[in-house]
Chain A
Amino acid sequence: MLNIVDVYKRYTPSGQSPVEALRGVSLSLNPGDFASIRGPSGCGKSTLLLSAGLLQRPDEGRIELKGQDVYALSREERASLRRREVGFVFQQFHLIPYLNLLDNIQLSDCVEPEEHGEERATALAEQLGIAHRLQHTPGELSVGERQRVALARALYGKPSYILADEPTGNLDPDSAKRVLDELAQFAEHGGIVFMVTHDPEAAARATRPFTMNQGLLETPA
């Protein structure tokens, strides 16, 4: 249901030779898939993730979500599709420093409010073990807790898939395990997880592990 079809992406930094970040990547993910991508730095993992996240138009190829070519949609339609279908988790969390945890989790409400949002956010916080910190701001949390907030925020909008770019990159092993458990659980419940990681242990949790090299996806034998 998430189809990446022969995607090319080239960056042309001004005054420099162009960089071929993606050179014909195809991948098909279905509900329940927990995919991971490993590969050397600069091989194009983040680029692929952002394209899959409806945030970066590929130069060639298509990204199809439930059969819909997402880059054929208008920018506004794509934005609201992101609100409904996609959850993001980044290595740097991207939490909003002046909102408390509850508000950070419910961030997508400012686009389109979730029904019974507060109960849902509170339930997610409990599930992730951060319910006692709901009134705190991100600056008052440990790094591991912050990533759990980011994960709760990704889960809050009931997305079809979660895109996670090195979600455990900054975490201690316990926190990392907790985040990976949650992602695995999301996939088990019929979601799609698409995770970029350098960590072999994290990659091992995936049901569909891939490696990437110089803009090309390699399926392990």
Chain B
Amino acid sequence: MKLSRLFWRELKFRSLHSILSLLAVSLTVGVIATVQMRLEWRRADTERVLSENKAEVEQVFAKLEDEMRKITKAMGFNVMVLPAEQNLADFYANDFAAKTMPENYVNTLANAGIVTVQHLLPILQKKVFWEEAKSTALLIGVRGEVPFPDTVPKSPLLQPVPKGHIVLGYELHANQGWKQGDQISFQGAEFTIHELKPQKGNKDDITLWIPLEQAQSMFDLEGEINAILALQCKCAWADIAKVREELTKLLPDTQVIEFSSRALARAEARNQAADARKKGLEQENLNRQQILLREERFASTLIPLICLGTMSLLAALTFVNVRDRKSEIGILRAVGLSRAKVLQLFLGKAASLGLLGMLPGLAVAVLVFSQLGLPESPLSWQDGLKPLSLSLIALLAPLLQGIAAWPPAVWAANQDPATILHED
């Protein structure tokens, strides 16, 4: 007759008590494991969405960067440096700046080595009435590009006009029957036609280009210009503000406006689209994290409550068991069983019931969880099965039982056999 035999016979004999305890443990383990598996699944799913979104944001921005490079490479965007005191309303109304600034400003810019600007063109621009042709024209004195001293020579954007030559916009030569090389007279001076521009459909059609120096002397503005074109400013993020800042820092006496903004508009649109997508994904991440947080809160409230409830129930059941077994405790102590063994008997029973109840509890939990139905996701219910957390729950069951049974088991061990046996 071993104590273990007594133990198992008692479990069978007081089957109602055993079944109730087992049910309590199974149910608790079942609920906790289900909640936990769902939580683990949610964690995995959230992690999945977050990393997918992160990858997508990275991809969106890589694509954006690529597009930006293409956009700015293809076009760049152009800014015009004007004298600071130039009224912009007048500038836009008259198509040229009335104010002027020293021509050597352009050298200041060139020598400063501005990384974002590819081409610098000083110009002197005036609206004139062409006496000989009886037509209004926009005159631009150009000198050709100012080379950047430190960088490799770029293919120039605009060829300079050779001295004594003139380039004519379409409207200005369309009905004249002129050819390249013809001599024409402009404001009393003789020019050789250097180039006849095809129709553009913009201001270029009424523009004529002559060397800057000749324009300056024509208007008595030697050494003066009224604009510097900075063309094809190429920075990755098409950030006009940055270009503006760079330029005005060097030439505090100027203002910078952006013109021909096709590239900018496109870049902005791309930027905004990427930003919107990023915001959308961030919002989704936030929503996901909030759902996870909510479920974590739910679990962290529910699980302790269930544990507490079950432990109270198990403690009560063990108390009843001890009370029912007082006579047994009396005779066992009389035949020499120590208090420690009595304690062991009741704690052992609790832990065994915990272990026995845990297995069906886990099995039912897995079954319920697999049938529960989960939110749309490429993850399957198996992704909620985390060996670590399931093992912890498996350990929790006998532990809870043991803790719950501790006070009644101590009470059992402290029973005075003399009192019990005396109560005949």
Contact = CB atoms under 8 A, between A and B. Distances in A.
Nearest to A87: B335
A2 B1 CA distance: 30
B330 interface: yes
A97 B12 CA distance: 12
Contact of A46 (B9, B417, B424): B424
A90 B424 contact: yes
B337 A111 contact: yes
A79 B421 contact: no
B422 A75 contact: no
Interface in A15-49: 46-47
B330 to A, nearest CB: 6
Given A46-B424, A56-B418, A97 B13 contact: yes
Interface in B313-354: 327-328, 330-339, 341
A76 interface: yes
Interface centre among B3, B10, B13, B421 (most CB of A within 10 A): B421
A157 B424 contact: no
Interface stretch (A102-110, A140-148, A182-190): A102-110
Contacts, number: 94
Contact of A50 (B2, B327, B418): B418
Given A92-B424, A98-B9, A53 B2 contact: no
A99 B1 CA distance: 10
A91 B2 CA distance: 26
A90 B421 contact: yes
B5 interface: yes
A62 interface: no
Contacts of B417: 55
B241 interface: no
A111 B335 contact: yes
A193 B97 CA distance: 134
A1 interface: no
Contact of A157 (B3, B332, B335, B422): B335
A80 B422 contact: no
Contacts of A61: none
Interface string A136-178: 0000000000000000010001000000011000000000000
A106 B9 CA distance: 15
Given A98-B9, A98-B10, A82 B2 contact: no
A88 B331 CA distance: 9
B424 A108 contact: no
B15 to A, nearest CB: 10
A112 B339 CA distance: 15
A50 B335 CA distance: 13
B388 interface: no
Nearest to A95: B331
B335 A107 contact: yes
B336 A111 contact: yes
A94 interface: yes
Interface string B339-373: 10100000000000000000000000000000000
B6 interface: yes
Contacts of B3: 110
A205 interface: no
A65 to B, nearest CB: 14
A148 B9 CA distance: 22
Interface string B1-41: 11101100110111000000000000000000000000000
Interface string A104-122: 0011111111000100000
Interface of B: 1-3, 5-6, 9-10, 12-14, 327-328, 330-339, 341, 417-418, 421-422, 424
